[in-house]
Amino acid sequence: MEIKDIEKLAELAKIELTDGEKAKLLKDLDSILGYVKQIEVVDLPAQAEVPEYENRNVWREDTPELRDFSVDLITKQFPGSQDGFVKVKKIM
């Protein structure tokens, strides 16, 4: 991994970094990946290829239900709002 890889990841994650932070992060990621890499060489039993407990979606009927969310509290949390809508910068 190099500084330009850190820059690319930071761009994807929408985080700005100073040059010092980039260098520190490069060092940290090298050390963390050095540790987690040990799983690369693990030989797995055939059973591990299929999850022990199968994940499945849990659906409910698509009908409106009352929730006790406070609309007032929710809209108050928007940093910018107008007429009960979230206000954001132009996307396109």
**Interface positions with other proteins (CB under 8 A):** 5-6, 9-10, 12-17, 21, 25, 28-29, 31-40, 42, 44-45, 47-53, 57-58, 60, 67-70, 73-74, 76-80, 86, 88-91
> Rounded to the nearest whole angstrom, what is the least distance from the CB of residue 61 to other proteins in the complex?
12
51 within 8 A of 44, measured Cβ to Cβ: no
- What element of type H or E holds 81? strand 81-82
Q: What gap in Å lies between CA 27 and CA 13, rounded to an integer?
A: 18
> Rounded to the nearest whole angstrom, what is the least distance from the CB of residue 7 to other proteins in the complex?
10
**Counting every residue, how long is the chain?**
92
